[in-house]
Amino acid sequence: MVTREDIETLGRAKGNILGQGGEKIGGLGELYVDDETDNPTWVTVKTGLFGTKESFVPLEGANRQGEDLVVPYTKDQVKDAPRVDPDGHLEPDEEDRLYTHYGRTARSGIADGNGRGTRHTGDETAVEGDTGRTDRRTTGHDTSGPNTDDAMTRSEERLNVGTEREEVGRARLRKYVTTENVQKTVPVQREEVRVEREPITEQNRGAAMGGADLSEEEHEVTLHEERPVVDKETVPVERVKLGTETRTGEKTVNEDVSKEHIETEGFDEGRKKP
């Protein structure tokens, strides 16, 4: 069962009215309650271009779904409902025609013509007539009256788009060690034995004849060679740090905005003075 608080919550959320199968019928309009019991009975749905028309839908069988109201009717049923002026009060005969259209049984008190009806739930100043009708007379109502002037204010929503800064991710530096094979070629030297023979000359004769005539001797020569020696040292090669830079791009924002339109009724264009 849909309560009055449900409708007020959906109204603040600018909810929609959905039909059978989740089809959007239109925007949520105004709530009407029973004159005697104060129970929610009807709600209006804004249809047509820019929601300029309102149709009445009974709340019997309706249920709340998130920020929307689901009714057990099709979009065509609602659009074809009898045209009733949403002037703040539904008369019994108006309710009777609406109930007939939606295939519902009229509430007790309507068919017997006792004057019971349904009123709008907006801020009201009661004006009781002989028939017991309660009309809405509030400052700012779109019908000229004792509390309004002869002008109507048209309002519209404007889209204000700005930016906000939010964290989208983090970057960090991480150092780790890998091992790779490095191959280098270095020159190395080694000593080898070489036999040198020289003839006896006047210059070396003394050295050659300085020993015994015959003897056994050994001469030894120490050989040397170079070998590669590997030594590793750690040296700094570069510094790495994190920085940020700002780049400017463009993003397109799509949002629905509502605006009021003013149309005339009962105005004879042909009688307009030149």
Q: What are the helix (H) ranges across the chain?
A: 4-12, 75-79, 92-101, 205-208
Q: What is the pTM of this model?
A: 0.42
Res. 234 pLDDT band, cuts 50 70 90? very high
Domains identified in the chain and CATH numbers: 4-124 (2.30.30.240)
| Structure tokens that stand for 151 in this block | 């002008």
- Six token digits for residue 183: 């191959």
3-state secondary structure 54-86: EEEEECCCCEEECCEEECCCCHHHHHCCCCCCC
Smallest CA-to-CA distance from 121 within 30, 53, 1 is with: 30
pLDDT exceeds cutoff 60 at 151 = yes
The 10 Å Cβ neighbour count of residue 135 is 18
Question: pLDDT above 90 covers what percent of the chain?
Answer: 28
For residue 249, what are its two tokens?
Answer: 């791009």
How confident is the model over 128-142, as pLDDT tens digits? 333 333 343 333 344
Res 271 pLDDT > 80: no
Over range 4-16, report the average pLDDT. Answer: 85
pLDDT-based confidence at residue 11 (cuts at 50, 70, 90):
confident
Q: Which of 50-73 are b and which e, b meaning 16 or more Cβ less than 10 Å from the residue's Cβ?
A: ebebbbbbbbbebebeeebbbbeb
| Segment 89-144, tens digit of pLDDT | 888 898 999 999 998 876 544 434 444 567 766 544 333 333 333 343 333 344 44
Residue-averaged pLDDT of the chain:
80
- What is the pLDDT confidence band of residue 268, given thresholds at 50, 70 and 90? low
